[in-house]
Amino acid sequence: MRIGVFLVAAGFPGRSAGEVLRDTVEAVVAAEEAGFDDAWIAEHHFMSYGVCPSAVTLAGVALGRTSRIGVGTAVSVLSTRHPVDLAEQAAVLDQLSGGRFTLGVGRGGPWVDLEVFGTGPARFERGFPESLDLLCAALAGDTVAADGEFFRFREVPMVPAVRLRPVVACTSPQTVALTAERGLPMLLGMHIGDEEKAAMLRDYRAAAVRRPPTAGRPGAQELPGRGEGTARPEGFSPGHLAAGEGVPGHVAAVVGHVADSTAQAVRELRETMPRWLEPGLAGYVPVDGRARPQRDISEYVNFLCDTHPVGSPGHCVERIRRTVEVTGLRHLILMVEGAGDQARTLGNIRRFGAEVLPRVRG
């Protein structure tokens, strides 16, 4: 069982972006000290929901401040990035951290980011498969070339060359199938419950059975080291190649908030999270005038508290065990910033480390 922390770099009212970014790195350090396996950093642009616009950059800072814990991006938005540029940055962090970095990527949304960065709605609407294949090729070979709709260039060497596979955020059946066909691990969001996660995992397995031949598809070649008996390296993370039968190491995000009682933990999040979510979610501005999805914030917070490990230490242990039982997942990452106060976040991390993780792992 692997347990990590998920850091949104949440812009709660009254906190500057610089303070939040420094606090995020401090939280990764605290997570390492508390015994967590990894820490995952979110990326958002032009909004207070999350104030980190470059998860790779902040991950590099966190890796430099730590020595054991894995650090990943959850996620770097592929629709606004050049895949080879992102692969180069991942390679640098992999080399300098001794293999502690995991690259998580996602399709993103139809937001104004596409306009600002010049990639346009087409990269979001139909360009994700090509972008993902090119990223995988750049992370899996000594050279890379492209001859597609969105990317076309001569063969160039990858320097430094690495052997990594990305984790892919999945929120739709299309992305689940795409990820399964490429044999990549999924990252599932905290906005869905155990039953929905289990259904997505079933869909993934069904699509993986139908996986087409890899020949001729850029980045989809079978990666070395996934066969029977492959050794599990020190500091192993989902970004590296899995041991055993090559089953991807799926990751799921959940809210994690521990207090003396379940009533206290729920009360705290009901009081604090709407102050962050209300203005934060409003920051999603569509690029093309389409209607922005609306969510009842109070109802959403109630869902998070009812579904995820929010409560006393014993309740959190049981919630995590239920998620494992229902889904079969063996890697969860806990969103620990829900109280909106850095001292409370650090206390939350330390208390999970002392009172919850040993019982879950046991």
Tens of pLDDT along 34-87? Answer: 999 999 999 999 999 999 999 999 999 999 999 999 999 999 999 999 999 999
Task: Show the tokens assigned to 166.
Answer: 């990305």
The answer to whether residue 294 is domain-embedded is: yes
The whole-number pLDDT of residue 206 equals 95
pLDDT in tens, 123-140: 999 999 999 999 999 999
Total domain count for the chain? 1
Q: What's the pLDDT score for residue 225? A: 28
Residue 187 lies in a domain: yes
Q: How many angstroms separate the CA atoms of 257 and 351, rounded? A: 9
pLDDT of 145: 98
**Greater confidence, 220 or 282?**
282
Instruction: Report strand pairing: 152-157 vs 143-147.
Output: antiparallel
Smallest Cα–Cα separation from 79: which of 42, 40, 41, 116?
A: 116
- Sheet containing 101-102: give its strands across: 76-77, 104-106, 167-169, 186-188, 251-255, 331-335, 2-7, 38-41, 70-73, 101-102
Question: Rounded to whole angstroms, how far apart are CA atoms 151 and 174?
Answer: 22
Residue 282 in any domain: the answer is yes
pLDDT of residue 213: 56
Closest to 250 in 3D by CA, of 173, 304, 172, 330: 330
Q: Which range is least confidently modeled, 1-15, 179-193, 215-229, 291-305? A: 215-229
Q: Which domain holds residue 347?
A: 1-222+236-362
- Whole-number Cα distances in Å, 177 to 78, 126, 186, 240, 258: 17, 15, 10, 21, 35
Is residue 230 in some structural domain? no
Domain for residue 227, yes or no?
Answer: no
Round to whole Å and give the CA distance between 281 and 78.
20
Tell me the mean pLDDT in the region 275-279. Answer: 97
Residues 6+ apart with CB under 8 A from 25: 58, 61, 62, 65
Output the pLDDT for position 292: 86
- Put simply, whether the predicted model's pTM sits higher than 0.85 gets the answer yes
pLDDT confidence band for 354 (50 / 70 / 90): very high
pLDDT at 218: 44
Indicate whether 228 belongs to any domain.
no
Decide if 126 is inside a domain. Answer: yes
Residue 9, both tokens: 């770099």
Token pair in block for residue 207: 């699509």
HEC letters along the chain: CEEEEEECCCCCCCCCHHHHHHHHHHHHHHHHHHCCCEEEECCCCCCCCCCCCCHHHHHHHHHHHCCCCEEEECCEEHHHCCHHHHHHHHHHHHHHHCCCEECEEECCCCECHHHHCCCHHHHHHCCHHHHHHHHHHHHHCCEEEEECCCCEEEEEECCCCCCCCCEEECCCHHHHHHHHHCCCCEEECCCCCHHHHHHHHHHHHHHHHCCCCCCCCCCCCCCCCCCCCCCCCCCCCCCCCCCCCCCCCCEEEEECEECCCHHHHHHHHHHHHHHHHHHHHCCCCECCCCCCCCCCHHHHHHHHHHHCCEECHHHHHHHHHHHHHHHCCCEEEEECCCCCCHHHHHHHHHHHHHHHHHHHHC
What gap in Å lies between CA 274 and CA 340, rounded to an integer?
A: 10
CATH number at residue 203: 3.20.20.30
> Is residue 244 scored above 60 in pLDDT?
no
Q: What are the two backbone dihedrals, phi and then psi, of residue 177, each rounded to the nearest 5 degrees?
A: -65, -45
Inside any domain, residue 231: no
| Contact call for residues 253 and 6 (beta carbons, < 8 A) | yes
